[in-house]
Structure 1
Amino acid sequence: MRRGRLRRTGEAAYGLLLLGRQVAMALLVLLVLVAGVWTSWGTAQHALLTKGKERGTFTVGSCHSSWCTGSFTADPAKGDDRRSVRIDATVTDGKGQRIPVVLKPGTTEAVRTDLPGLLYSWAPLGGALLLASILLAGALRLHRAAWVLGLAGVGVLGAAFLGL
């Protein structure tokens, strides 16, 4: 028995809606991952690519709610000493700590260049991996890929937490 034209059209439209949902969710997962990489790269590029940038040691002088300020002692022939430089408070242990850093070009903002600082700079990617894993498992039903992304996200965030 043959189905009617109206029913075939309805089934085709429903199939297109399902396909559209899958494509939209895949694009959302991709957007979340790209945003995580983009956000992480804003800080990680300075920690990874230090050639031609002012490198040295940051000594924590005082800390406020989100920033710590202190002095910057440049490595020989790598830049000039500065009296007032700031760094994110979450990457320091407090007053008196000495941290290897690089200065963002044209600013007085420092980025930690040792392993804990590098791991911390990739923390937004870890969060994006966790969020993407939830979207993959819930919306796209890709459970194995979700586990891989989720464990990678937990690994990045855990390493950053333990490193600092």
Structure 2
Amino acid sequence: MNESSAPLSETAGKELGAADILGIMRMIPHRYPFLMIDRVVEIELDVRAVGIKNVSINEPHFQGHFPRQPVMPGVLIVESMAQTAAVLVVETLEGAAAGKLVYFMSVDEARFRKPIFPGDQVRVEVSKLKNRGPVWKFRGEAKVDGRLMAEAVFTAMIMDD
């Protein structure tokens, strides 16, 4: 976690350790079946984060999303980007945003280049483009084995309770 006594300007860009599934669940309110990341392997405060999504045929959306050729839905790929970004925000704000709801404001420049299948491990890379108050803008990429599968620019707002 971030050092609570250091101002953001001193901690920006600081590398942090990984977050496992229990750590992620402490940071963001999502739960099965809508928790779309399994761990976060890199966090650079106020800059970027990398999440991992292990895609399994056991996920409920595969029952109806092309059952004869199961493909991870594009909206869930973008959601995995948003959840990885939410972990970055919580860590950057030293936990002040933990558990708060974050709402999409926009999704732009979304491109789905190749399908993601059960058995794939998705590396979700997000970079902060800017933020102003509770509004944060990110660029996200989803990669499998180093190949770009999807990308998007998205904006979200952290809501107070």
Q: What is the TM-score normalised by the length of structure 1? A: 0.28
Question: Which of the pair has more CA radius of gyration?
Answer: 1
Greater share of residues in strand: 2
Greater share of residues in helix: 1
